[in-house]
Structures are given as structure tokens and as C-alpha cells.
Amino acid sequence: MALDGLVLANVVHELQTSLVGGRIDKIYQTEKEDILITMRNQGNSYKLLLTANSNYPRLHLSTLTKNNNQEPPMFCMLLRKHLGGGKLLEITQPDMERIVCLSIEATNELGDKEIKQLVIEIMGRHSNIILMKQDGTIIDSIKHISLDKSSVREVLPNRTYIRPPSGDKLNPLTVDETTFIQKIQTKELPLFKALYTSFNGLSPVFAQNLCCESHLDSSLVASTLSTGLLGNLFASFNSELKKVKEAHFSPTLYLDEKELPSDFYCFNLVNLESLEHKHFDSMSALLEHFYFERSTHFNVSQKTGDIKKLLHTFLDRSVRKKQIQEKALEEAAHKDLYKIYGELITAYAFQVDTGSTSFTTLNYYEEPYEEITIPLESHLSAIENAQAYYKLYTKAKRTELAAKEQLDIIEEDIKYLQSVLLSLDLLETKEDIDELRSELIEMGYLKKRKGVQKGKSNKKELPYLHFKSTEGHDIYVGKNNYQNDSLTMKFAKPNDLWLHIKDGPGSHVIIKSIDGTPISEEITLEGAMLAAYYSSGKMSSHVPIDYTYKKYVKKIPNAKPGMVIYTNFKTLYVTPTESFVKKLANN
């Protein structure tokens, strides 16, 4: 992934074309480190997303991002106060750095017009969004950086803004051939690394591409190359940078062998030409396509970290309980032998000598009849030894019954917890997370949060995952155990097809019948692919999937959500792929 200075230049060009001269309508803080600005310009409405998320920092126009925060955080309120209704005057990218500055003219509390700067720094874990005055005084930032966190610079209110240090890197748009060659020859580094450590805004993937275009081995030590070879490299360098100067961009998404996004750039890259690729009309559309699913899953994983940790704790506890009960069963397996000991001692009590530590006799309870040696307590009489063995037998019998009952309960708990852990991967929105929390509270795994009103919850029914088969059948997938119950027991009709992974946690899948007509093998296979993908067998091959008509699926009485029994089923084996699932989603 290469959101470098050149890709950012492509984004900046798009924003300059669409937004400059426009007015800020609303400002939201959709996530802890995400700002969404809605703007109006020339009769059109736009959404500008700025995110300082350390994993996926970026800046682009958006069509998918929504505001889920009911109460705006302090930084959002501050932006509304200083920038609300403001006019975007200019968007700049200083020295091809991964920094974008928005100059905004807005009215202050006294009615005077002032120019404020909104800066986004795309620097990995050091990314930030900073609001400052025209003179560079910081008003506030989405992340506060004090000297105890960074010895290089402070990012705090009322401090003077200082750009992140770039070392001795040069602006690639202004460098000439002589300077280029001299700069590269000072580097005792592999050639591709010498390139991106010498000039602002270049990524390793672009540096590799320049070496490839110049027919140079990227691993050669830069200082050993001749002036002639470096001149050829500069020609490729200059040609690519000319595209940036003239805004001749070609946003390109590269796909791996599974047809999934693997990389992107603002030009076609020679070193990635072996990969399948797809062109986009704008870099914003490409970035949103590339990052949306990744950032969504990351945000969900952040918000469900406490749930996952708690579920693993309960799961580990259940596994330990299971081991204890299995050990008890193993010990209880000797109960019949205790009974035989008691019976034999009783039958031959007259032959047992007082004070004996053992007694050998013929075991006529098991064929072939063989001699058996019975351990004895020397201080007990024969009848007392027999009674002791009867007590052991009775105790082992009770233990066995209790252990079997407990094992059934523990097994159900383990299956349920595994299914909830699996459903964490299906969460997409805040509402999904809230619904899962409600389920866990009702099941007794989570405590109700303070401030939540007691009584019947006004739960909003969330939509199931929805797909279309190649023949037009609607296919639905439950996102959690409540949805699995609802999907199967309420939503599905008797002649709809029900699918689920065999002997493992997974989502319930329903293929809707069209006018009662039988569902073909091809459509059943597509449903099985979804059942395998949304199950514990997602990363496996030849996953067994059971399928039957919904009328043969019954709810287990008093069982946890999502637990059912089914009959009249068949099994088929599939290997799920993400590309196939996305194809059905796009249908």
C-alpha cells in the first residue's frame, strides 16, 4: 500500500478541482480520529474525509462514510466553532510531503473574517489533524503530542506549528539532473532505498518501479553507479514527475491471484504489470474502495476488543471445566470394578484372613474366568472392606451422572462462545456491536452498563447480510445468534433451503425459494460457499456444509440463541473464497 506524496498529489488535485471556493456545511467526528466535512460548491454536495488513524491515515472524498456519533467530541465542537460556514480558499501540499493544508476563511465570534488552517499529516502512527491560526499558532489537534512523547516537536494548543522534520530530503518536483545524480551518489544504500530516502513523497514501490523502468537492479549500491546509468534513472524519474506536474494521473488498483485488492498507485507501475489491475475515475473512489472494508474491520475490532477478551476468558474457563469433568468421568470408569470387588469380598468373606492387605480369588463376573487380586485395608474386616468398595461404586456412579450432565452444559457453552467469537468478524456498524452486547447481557456474560434503563429493551431489528444468487434467488446470512434464530425460525418459509457448517460454529444461511420451485444444485453450492465463508471453516478447504429444508429445522428447547437440530439433511464440500463471496454481494 503506497499512499505516498505522489498519490496524495493526485488527491489534492481532485480536491482543488471539486472543493476550492466551496462552503463548509457540517462537520462531524465519525470516529475517535476521523473528521467528516460536508461541503457545497457550484450546486454540488461533497463529503471530505480526514482520518489520522495510525493504521489507515488518509484524505479523500467519500460517499460511504456516515456520522454515527450522537454527541460530538470536543475537537469536533471546536472545528464547528472556528470553521462552520467557512469558505475553502486553497488546498496545498508543501514540498510533496504527506501533508495537506486547507486554508479556510470563516467568521469569528465578533463577526470578523479570519483565515484558519486545517492541516492533516499522513505519517503512520504519527498522523494528526491540526487546526491553527494563519500565523501558525495551534488552536488544537485531534492528537496532543507533548515533549514526553516526542523530543522533536510539540503539538499542543498555543504552540507554534512546526512541520515534521524531513531530514535532508529534497522536493522531487524542483530537482534538476545534476542535483539528482549528486544526491543519489552520496548514498551507501540499495538504489531503490536511496531514491525514497533522498526525495520527499516517494514510496518503496514507486522507487522499485523507477529502477524497473530504467532496467537497473534495485539492489545495486547507489554510490557505485556511473553518471550515465543515473542519467537514465533521472530520465524515468523526470518522466513520472512530469505527470504529477501536469496532473496526468491514472488511479490504478492492483489485484492478487484471488482478485482481491493488494496495492494501488496513481500511475501504471511496470513492476506490478503482472498483476491484474483495475482503473478508477478518481483516486478518492479508489482509496475509499481499498480502505473502507479494512478500516471498518479495524474500527470494529477496536470497539469489540473488550468483548473478545471476555469471551476468550469464558472460553478458557469452560475448557478447564471440561477437562475437570472428563477427568472425573475417567475416574468413574472404574465404578464397575469397585462393585465386583465388593461382590467378591462379600461372597468369600469367610476366606479372607484378618489383617490381610489383599485377597486373590476367581472373578466369575467376567469371562474368561480368571483370578483377580483385590486390595484390602488391613485394619478393616472383610465385610467392612466390601462396604467401602460399595461406597466407592455409589460415589463413582453419582459422579458419572453429574459429570455427563455438566459436560453437556459445558459443551453447549463452548459452542455458543465460539459462535459469538465468529460473529465478531461479521460486525460492521455500531448497531451491530450494540445488538451483540445486548445478546451477551441477556445471556449473562456481560453486565449491564450504568445509565442504561432497566426494563424491556427497545431493540431495533438489524438487517441480515443479503446476497443474490446467479439465478436471482435471495440468500440471507445471520450476523449473530439472535439473527440466526430470527432468520431461521421467523423469517424463513418451510420450503426455503437452510445451510450450516457441519459440527462447527457458523452463521445460518437461508436460500429463498421462488414460487415454491426446487432450488438447483448450482444455487445450493453458492449458498454453501456463503455458509462456509461465514463459519469457522472460512480459511479451510473442503468444508462440510449440511443443507435441508427449513421445515426440518427445529429449535432446541431452552437452548442458547442459534442452537437448533435438523433432520433429512445432505452434506456437500466446498472451499470458500472471498472473491466469490464479493461477487455474490455485488449481484
Residue keyed to cell 461541503: 39
- Round to whole Å and give the CA distance between 587 and 584: 5
What's the CATH code of the domain at 246? 1.10.8
State which residues of the chain have pLDDT below 70: 1-2, 68-69, 293, 296-299, 449-462
CA distance 463 to 508: 14
Q: Is residue 216 in a domain? A: yes
Last residue of a domain, one of 125, 141, 157: 141
Q: Are residues 182 and 133 in the same domain?
A: no
Residue at 165 is within a domain: no
**Cell numbers given for 370:** 480368571
Where a domain ends, among 141, 159, 185?
141
Retrieve residue 198's grid coordinates: 533522498
Task: Answer whether residue 190 is part of any domain.
Answer: yes
The last residue of one of the domains, among 256, 276, 299, is: 299
Q: Model's pTM, two decimal places?
A: 0.67
**215 shares its domain with 290:** yes
Same domain, 29 and 109: yes
pLDDT tens sequence across 173-221: 999 999 999 999 999 999 999 999 999 999 999 999 999 999 999 999 9
Q: Tell me the residue type at 316.
A: D
pLDDT at 456: 44
Q: How far apart are CA 585 and CA 84, in angstroms?
A: 38
Residue 304 maps to a domain: no
Q: List all residues 6 or more positions away from 162 whose beta carbon is below 8 Å from its beta carbon.
A: 153
Tell me, yes or no, whether 9 and 135 share the same domain. Answer: yes
Residues 322 and 210 in one domain: no
In terms of DSSP H, where are the helices of 333-467? 335-347, 382-423, 430-442
* Structural domain contains residue 436: no
pLDDT for res 304: 81
The proportion of the chain whose per-residue pLDDT surpasses 90, expressed as a percent, equals: 65
Write the CATH number for 103: 2.30.310.10
CB 445 within 8 A of CB 310: yes
Contact 101, 163 (CB under 8 A): no
pLDDT confidence of residue 457: 45
Question: What is the C-alpha separation between 564 and 569, in angstroms, rounded?
Answer: 13
Same domain, yes or no: 228 and 189: yes
Does residue 574 share a domain with residue 484? yes
For the chain, report the end-to-end CA distance as a whole number of angstroms: 28
Distance, in Å, from the CA atom of 275 to the CA atom of 211, rounded to the nearest integer, reads: 18
Q: 294 and 377 in one domain?
A: no
Is residue 337 within 8 A of residue 366, CB to CB? The reply is no
Does residue 294 sit in the same domain as residue 318? no
Domain membership flag for residue 406: yes
Check residue 461 and report its DSSP letter: P
Residue 317, CA distances (Å) to 310, 321, 493, 511 in order = 11, 6, 39, 37
Contact 108, 124 (CB under 8 A): no
Q: Could you give the number of structural domains in the chain?
A: 4
Return d(Cα 68, Cα 220) in angstroms, integer.
Answer: 51
CA dihedral 58, 63, 64, 65 (to 10 degrees): 60
State residue 331's pLDDT score. Answer: 85
Q: Could you tell me if 356 and 383 lie in one domain?
A: yes
**Residue 82 counted as domain residue:** yes
In terms of residue numbers, what domain contains 123?
Answer: 5-141
Q: How much is the pLDDT for 473? A: 92
Q: Among all chains, which residue has been given the C-alpha cell 492528537?
A: 143
Instruction: For residues 261 and 362, state if they share a domain.
Output: no
CA distances from 559 to 303, 413, 439, 507 (A): 28, 10, 14, 17
CA dist 222 and 187 (Å) reads 6
Is residue 188 domain-shared with residue 258, that is, in the same domain?
yes
What distance in Å separates the CA atoms of residue 138 and residue 163, rounded to the nearest whole number? 12
Residue 158 domain-assigned (yes or no): no
